Amino acid sequence: MTFPARDDTGERVVVTGMGVVSPIATELADYVAALRAGRTGAAPITGFDTTGFDHPVGCEVNGFRPERWIRRLPVERLGRAARFAVAAARMAVRDARPSEDALRGDGVISVGTTNGGGPQLERLVETEALPGGGARDPLPTGTVLPHNLATSISQELDLPSALPSVLGTACAAGNHAIGEGVDAVRSGVAEFALCGGADAMSRKLFSGFSRLGLLAPDACRPFDSNRAGILLSEGAGMLLLESRRAALARGAPIHAEVLGYGLNCDALHPVAPDRASVASCTRTALRDAGVSPRDVDLISAHGTGTGRNDVTEAGAVLDVYGEAPPPTVSVKSMLGHAMGAASALAAIACVSAITHGFAPPTINHRELDPECPIDCVPNRAVEADLRIVQSNGLAFGGSNAVVIFGEHDGRTR
């Protein structure tokens, strides 16, 4: 299924706030600096027992202090992914500097995820399985519900008029959430949208990807002949979207404009992406944005570092853009694969690339895979005057989501 192009009568939608919790930085300014520096989040996993696994390396969030950002809710009652989501949402609101009334109108809170409260569910099951009741974990059962990711943001920020939703479309979920926010603001249904993605690493997910043979031993190398797979990751990225009209009226700082997006699902294979479907989704996003392929300056690929994804995605890029596509990077080489948070974190990287004028690198690069004939901006960021950037999110089950960001008129930042 492919969504048709929209008409052009709706509100223009802009990004006025962003918040980040990631393995390479836990605040926006540090995140931008880390992307520019090509910092890696890869390290041995410490959050759970990896005994018996061949490749116990991942990209965990370390040094994060949720109490800095979570003030109304008891931190201990939130699961790990919810802490990431709530903190990132508060950062986004602080970044947007809204007036007291700006977030009191109708709004949307949309959070994508793969795992939801997975780590809490694992703890709950483990402790319930122990003999006797004395060792039972006091963690409230409610923290395992994915819906907490959105409702906790609503409670923490006191947004009773905002409609919370959680999208479980796996690794494309962050872009799906952004699309939902765009629709709500563009149509006038909502005055603002807090949207993005959040996920926390868990032994369940780690075991699944290990069983599939997809985990790399040391580093993620997208589009490289020597690639060995993904590194599992975690974090959250949240964006505050408003109509351009409202943002200008209140003198809001504007990072970039969301020009359009595209969604589809090829319904062909449980785990393998489809080249024609990814290309079709890209064309839908470009039509929705009202731009042509020659207008796009940079592509942030899904770029997992698996052979099937990289070759398929690079092929789709060539199908849409021809033999000389824009530079196509993978921030997963630095961040790892944060599942439901992945495309939201990539979206913030795209907006930051436009605002700060650079193309993030694809690190760990040694030798370009001849089946991926693209410029992946190997190992070092490059200065670049970017006007339009494409952000890809692909997921198991053939679900694709592509968002197109554009420089806002006049570069207000």
Q: In the listed set 250, 281, 302, which residue is the last one of a domain according to the structure?
A: 250
Whether 55 sits among the annotated catalytic residues: the reply is no
Residues 196 and 271 in one domain: no
Kindly state whether residue 413 falls inside one of the protein's structural domains.
Answer: no
User: What's residue 1's pLDDT?
Assistant: 44
Residues 286 and 179 in one domain: no
- Six token digits for residue 310: 């990289």
Kindly state whether residue 411 falls inside one of the protein's structural domains.
Answer: no
What would you measure as the largest C-alpha separation in the chain, in angstroms?
66
Kindly state whether residue 170 falls inside one of the protein's structural domains.
Answer: yes
Torsion of CA 94, 97, 102, 103, to 10 degrees: -10
Window from 103-117, 127-141, 198-212, 236-250 with minimum mean pLDDT: 127-141
Which residue among 55, 302, 365, 408 is the active-site one? 302
Q: How far apart are CA 402 and CA 328, in angstroms?
A: 14
The yes-or-no verdict on residue 211 having pLDDT over 70 is yes
Kindly state whether residue 309 falls inside one of the protein's structural domains.
Answer: yes
Instruction: Name the band, by pLDDT with cuts 50, 70 and 90, for residue 409.
Output: confident
> CA nearest 244: which of 224, 259, 226, 261?
259
Is residue 148 a contact partner of residue 78, using CB atoms and an 8 Å limit?
yes
> Any idea which residue has 């508060």 for tokens?
90
Kindly state whether residue 81 falls inside one of the protein's structural domains.
Answer: yes
User: What's residue 7's pLDDT?
Assistant: 52
Residues 273 and 291 in one domain: yes
Q: How many CB atoms lie within 10 A of CB 34?
A: 21
Residues 120 and 49 in one domain: yes
Kindly state whether residue 113 falls inside one of the protein's structural domains.
Answer: yes
Residues 53 and 191 in one domain: yes
Helices marked H in 158-274: 173-187, 203-211, 244-249
Global pTM value: 0.94
Residues 217 and 276 in one domain: no
Q: How far apart are CA 406 and CA 260, in angstroms?
A: 9
Q: In the listed set 224, 250, 276, which residue is the last one of a domain according to the structure?
A: 250
The yes-or-no verdict on residue 89 having pLDDT over 90 is yes
Number of domains in the chain: 2
Q: Which residue has the higher pLDDT, 7 or 200?
A: 200
Residues 86 and 221 in one domain: yes
User: What's residue 137's pLDDT?
Assistant: 63
DSSP run (H or E) holding 25: none
Whether 269 sits among the annotated catalytic residues: the reply is no
Instruction: Name the band, by pLDDT with cuts 50, 70 and 90, for residue 99.
Output: confident
Residues 196 and 267 in one domain: no
φ/ψ of residue 53, rounded to 5: -85, 145
Residues 344 and 222 in one domain: no
Q: Which residue has the higher pLDDT, 338 or 272?
A: 338
Helix axes 80-96, 148-157, angle to 10 degrees: 40
Contacts of 345 by beta carbon, 8 Å cutoff, 6+ apart: 20, 22, 174, 197, 235, 236, 237, 331, 335, 338
Whether 337 sits among the annotated catalytic residues: the reply is yes
Domain, as residue range, for 223: 13-250
Which residue among 55, 176, 255, 337 is the active-site one? 337
- The number of helix segments (H) and strand segments (E) in the chain equals 11, 14
Kindly state whether residue 140 falls inside one of the protein's structural domains.
Answer: yes
Strand partners, 109: 164, 194
Residues 222 and 327 in one domain: no
Contacts of 12 by beta carbon, 8 Å cutoff, 6+ apart: 186, 243, 244, 245, 257
Q: In this structure, what CATH number is given to the domain that contains residue 348?
A: 3.40.47.10
> Any idea which residue has 């948070």 for tokens?
341
Query: What pLDDT, in 10s, does the model give residues 232-276?
Result: 999 999 999 999 999 999 999 999 999 999 999 988 888 889 999
Residues 145 and 229 in one domain: yes
Kindly state whether residue 412 falls inside one of the protein's structural domains.
Answer: no
Which residue among 171, 195, 265, 350 is the active-site one? 171
User: What's residue 366's pLDDT?
Assistant: 97
Q: How many CB atoms lie within 10 A of CB 211?
A: 9
Instruction: Name the band, by pLDDT with cuts 50, 70 and 90, for residue 103.
Output: confident
Q: In the listed set 232, 250, 268, which residue is the last one of a domain according to the structure?
A: 250
Q: What is the DSSP letter of 132?
A: S
The yes-or-no verdict on residue 154 having pLDDT over 70 is yes
Q: How far apart are CA 85 and CA 355, in angstroms?
A: 23
The yes-or-no verdict on residue 279 having pLDDT over 60 is yes
Residues 17 and 72 in one domain: yes
